[in-house]
Structure 1
Amino acid sequence: MASLLFFGSLLFLSGAALGSNNSIPLVLWHGMGDNCCNPLSMGSIKKMVEDKLPGIYVLSLMIGKTIAEDTESGFFVDVNKQVDIACEKIAQDPKLKGGYNAMGFSQGAQFLRAVAQRCPVPPMKNLISVGGQHQGVYGLPRCPGESSHICDWIRRALDSGAYTDAVQKRLVQAQYWHDPINSDLYKQHSLFLADINQERVVNETYKKNLMSLEKFVMVKFLKDTVVDPVISEWFGFFKPGQAKETETLQESALYKEDRLGLAQMDKAGKLVFLFSDGDHLQFDQAWFNAKLIPYLQ
Structure 2
Amino acid sequence: MRSTPILLLIIVLISTIYGNNVTQNYTPIVMWHGMGDSCCFPFSLGSIKKLLERSLENKVYVTSLEIGGSYVRDYESGYFIHPDKQLQDACNQIANNKILSNGFNAIGFSQGSQFLRALVQRCPAAKVKNLISLGGQHQGVYGLPNCPSLTTKSCEYFREMLNYAAYTGWVQKRLVQATYWHDPMNENLYKSKSTFLAEINNERKINQKYIDRLQKLENFVMVKFWNDTIVQPVDTQWFGFYKPGSDSETLTMEESDIYTKDRLGLKKMKEDGKIKFIAVEGNHLQIKNDWFIANIIDVYLKN
TM-score w.r.t. the length of structure 2 is: 0.90
Cα 1:270–1:146 shift into 2, 3 Å: farther
Instruction: Give the letter for the 2:32 counterpart.
Output: W
In structure 2, C-alpha distance between the alignment counterparts of 1:171 and 1:246, rounded to whole Å? 26
**How far apart are 1:241 and its partner, in Å?**
1.0
Specify the alignment match of 1:36 in structure 2.
Answer: 39
In structure 1, C-alpha distance between the alignment counterparts of 2:151 and 2:228, rounded to whole Å? 14
Asked whether 1:80 is paired with 2:60, we answer no
Contact 1:146–1:152 (Cα < 8 Å) also in 2: no
Asked whether 1:295 is paired with 2:268, we answer no
1:208 counterpart SS class: helix
**How far apart are 1:55 and its partner, in Å?**
1.4
In structure 2, C-alpha distance between the alignment counterparts of 1:29 and 1:147, rounded to whole Å? 33
2:147 counterpart SS class: coil
Q: In the comparison of the two structures, how many residue pairs are matched?
A: 279
In structure 2, C-alpha distance between the alignment counterparts of 1:147 and 1:100, rounded to whole Å? 44
> Aligned to 1:48, which of 51, 56, 72?
51
**How far apart are 1:21 and its partner, in Å?**
2.2
Contact 1:139–1:145 (Cα < 8 Å) also in 2: no
**How far apart are 1:146 and its partner, in Å?**
11
Deviations 1:217-258 (A, max 9, x none): 000000000000001000000001111100100111111111
**How far apart are 1:122 and its partner, in Å?**
4.0
**How far apart are 1:121 and its partner, in Å?**
2.2
Contact 2:141–2:182 (Cα < 8 Å) also in 1: yes
In structure 2, C-alpha distance between the alignment counterparts of 1:98 and 1:112, rounded to whole Å? 17
Instruction: Give the letter for the 1:109 counterpart.
Output: S
Segment drifting more, 109-118 vs 145-154: 145-154
Higher Cα radius of gyration: 2
> Aligned to 1:231, which of 235, 245, 269?
235
> Aligned to 2:28, which of 18, 22, 25?
25
Q: How does 1:217-228 map to 2 (within 5 A)?
A: 217-228=221-232
1:272 counterpart SS class: strand
In structure 1, C-alpha distance between the alignment counterparts of 2:296 and 2:217, rounded to whole Å? 16
Contact 1:107–1:132 (Cα < 8 Å) also in 2: yes
Cα 1:144–1:191 shift into 2, 3 Å: farther
2:224 counterpart SS class: strand
Deviations 1:202-230 (A, max 9, x none): 10001110111110000000000000000
> Aligned to 1:58, which of 52, 55, 62?
62
2:284 counterpart SS class: coil
Asked whether 1:272 is paired with 2:297, we answer no
Contact 1:30–1:104 (Cα < 8 Å) also in 2: yes
Cα 1:231–1:282 shift into 2, 3 Å: same
2:279 counterpart SS class: strand
Asked whether 1:177 is paired with 2:202, we answer no
2:223 counterpart SS class: strand
Instruction: Give the letter for the 2:162 counterpart.
Output: L
Deviations 1:126-180 (A, max 9, x none): 1000000100000111115998221011101111010000000000000000001
Specify the alignment match of 1:97 in structure 2.
Answer: 101
Contact 2:120–2:126 (Cα < 8 Å) also in 1: no
> Aligned to 1:251, which of 244, 249, 255?
255
In structure 2, C-alpha distance between the alignment counterparts of 1:125 and 1:50, rounded to whole Å? 18
Instruction: Give the letter for the 1:295 counterpart.
Output: Y
1:55 counterpart SS class: coil
Contact 1:234–1:273 (Cα < 8 Å) also in 2: yes
In structure 2, C-alpha distance between the alignment counterparts of 1:249 and 1:147, rounded to whole Å? 30
Return 5+ residue gaps in structure 1 as ranges. Answer: 1-19
Return 5+ residue gaps in structure 2 as ranges. Answer: 1-22
Cα 1:132–1:22 shift into 2, 3 Å: same
Q: Percent identity?
A: 55
> Aligned to 2:212, which of 175, 198, 208?
208
In structure 1, C-alpha distance between the alignment counterparts of 2:239 and 2:111, rounded to whole Å? 13
Specify the alignment match of 1:8 in structure 2.
Answer: none
Contact 1:211–1:265 (Cα < 8 Å) also in 2: yes
